[in-house]
């Protein structure tokens, strides 16, 4: 039986070299990432009110300017991977060229991560999703219209980081939805809750975007010929739940992209279950893990939980009342993949996100934290029970109340 690995967090290490080098496989990379974290609501911000310098975008959704000190703090706390979500469409001109200053700032933050020896996952984020400005849509006609623009974007990103080593991974797209903006599975948002034509078009398009991504990156040469690449399922759906027969379709319908280099593709899903009933949520996690093994990992690639958290716990009284459930869920969610020797996962975590885990609170000038909630400790120890947490920098890990 084939095994698969899912990342608990997000991250990457730097290995700068002018010459191509031998990369670890995707399975080895995902295993070595251990636990990771998302730099959420920062470089993925976008909207009609955002304009001007990279700093204006970086702080537009309420986050402070990212610093090397933050990445140092994350690494010292025990995280070994950082996912850096980036939205690009407001930084591209009519000729699809990315703004030099935006690319420079993204490059700086990638360096913050890899200089700490962590893995870094760099992606295309809110260019997808359920908003009017999303230009990457899971639809065959839209793919045909956007193919050149999409491949141009990934060519530029790949060329920018061509000489980086195997601690840098690229993620093709975030949560790409169909023309009806359906979650759970393609065409769920139609009147009948399923439309075969819309669903087929959506899954075909996802596979086309994934293949375009792989082709564009590999064509830039250098270390990109071996770089580990990550592709999400439709909507990054994880297949959890048994309430609809189509829930597993996003896993079944995602193809392994054709690649000139074998062993350097990983799959990614996201998961945000409701944790009010722990018996139910544990059953959902069990079902999800089994589905990922059966329908996705069996295709020959490791699996990353690029984001995870809860769908119902916010800051304030709601979180306080369910804190025990949150800790129990974090323990079970992080421990289950380890126990099955098959999965790793990453939490979505910005101080203002309503569905995610937040392992730090931050001042306008310097990262600070406290360990009063213990969620970060639970994550790390559930995945790696022998780990000794670095408590010289105390941690704060809370639920936020901001943007999705």
List residues with catalytic annotation.
Answer: 175, 307
Q: Is 74 strand, coil or helix?
A: helix
> Per DSSP, which regions of 326-397 are E strands?
344-347, 357-358, 361-362, 367-368
> Per DSSP, which regions of 240-392 are E strands?
265-271, 303-308, 344-347, 357-358, 361-362, 367-368
d(C-alpha 178, C-alpha 176), whole Å: 7
Strands 361-362 and 367-368: what pairing? antiparallel
d(C-alpha 20, C-alpha 207), whole Å: 28
Write down the H helix ranges in 161-297: 196-219, 249-252, 278-295
Is 136 in contact with 208 (CB distance < 8 Å)? no
Please name which of 6, 5, 4, 3 lies closest in space to residue 306, comparing C-alpha atoms: 6
Q: Return the exposure string of 349-384: e unless at least 16 CB atoms fall within 10 Å of the residue's CB, then b.
A: bbbbbbbbbbbbebeeeebebebebbbbbbbbbbbb
Cα 244 to chain center, whole Å? 25
Please count the residues of the chain.
404
Please name which of 43, 206, 59, 64 lies closest in space to residue 123, comparing C-alpha atoms: 43
d(C-alpha 144, C-alpha 277), whole Å: 44
Write down the H helix ranges in 115-195: 140-160
Instruction: At 364, list the tokens.
Output: 């306008």
Residues facing 362 on adjacent strands: 367
Is 303 in contact with 291 (CB distance < 8 Å)? no
Backbone angles phi, psi at 333, to 5 degrees: -65, -45
Is 162 in contact with 221 (CB distance < 8 Å)? yes
């Amino acid at each position: 039986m084939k095994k698969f690995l899912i990342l608990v967090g997000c991250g990457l290490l730097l290995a700068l070299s002018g010459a191509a080098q031998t990369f670890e496989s995707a399975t080895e990379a995902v295993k070595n990432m251990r636990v990771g974290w998302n730099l959420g609501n920062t470089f993925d911000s976008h909207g009609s009110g955002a304009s001007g310098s990279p700093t204006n975008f970086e702080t537009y959704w309420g986050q402070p300017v990212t610093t090397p000190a933050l990445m140092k703090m994350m690494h010292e706390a025990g995280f070994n991977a950082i996912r850096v979500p980036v939205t690009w469409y407001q930084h591209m001109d009519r000729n699809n060229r990315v703004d030099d200053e935006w690319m420079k700032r993204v490059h700086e933050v990638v360096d913050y991560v890899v200089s700490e020896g962590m893995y870094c996952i760099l992606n295309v984020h809110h260019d997808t999703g359920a908003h009017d400005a999303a230009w990457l849509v899971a639809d065959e006609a839209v793919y045909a219209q956007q193919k050149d623009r999409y491949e141009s974007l990934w060519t530029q990103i790949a060329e920018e980081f061509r000489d980086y080593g195997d601690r840098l991974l690229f993620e093709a797209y975030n949560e790409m939805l169909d023309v009806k903006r359906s979650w759970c599975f393609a065409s769920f948002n139609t009147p009948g809750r399923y439309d075969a034509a819309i669903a087929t078009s959506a899954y075909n398009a996802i596979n086309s975007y994934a293949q375009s991504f792989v082709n564009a990156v590999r064509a830039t040469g250098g270390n990109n010929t071996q770089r580990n690449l990550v592709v999400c399922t439709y909507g990054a759906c994880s297949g959890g739940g048994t309430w609809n027969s189509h829930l597993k379709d996003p896993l079944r319908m995602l193809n392994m992209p054709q690649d000139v280099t074998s062993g350097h593709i990983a799959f990614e899903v996201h998961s945000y279950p409701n944790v009010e009933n722990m018996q139910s949520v544990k059953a959902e996690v069990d079902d999800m893990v089994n589905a990922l093994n059966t329908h996705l990992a069996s295709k020959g690639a490791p699996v990353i939980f690029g984001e995870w958290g809860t769908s119902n716990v916010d800051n304030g009284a709601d979180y306080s009342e369910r804190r025990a459930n949150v800790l129990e869920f974090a323990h079970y969610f992080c421990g289950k993949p380890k126990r099955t020797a098959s999965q790793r996962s990453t939490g979505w975590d910005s101080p203002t996100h309503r569905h995610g885990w937040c392992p730090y609170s931050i001042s306008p000038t310097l990262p600070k934290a406290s360990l009063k909630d213990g969620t970060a400790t639970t994550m790390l120890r559930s995945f790696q029970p022998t780990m000794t947490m670095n408590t010289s920098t105390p941690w704060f890990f809370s639920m936020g109340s901001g943007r999705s």
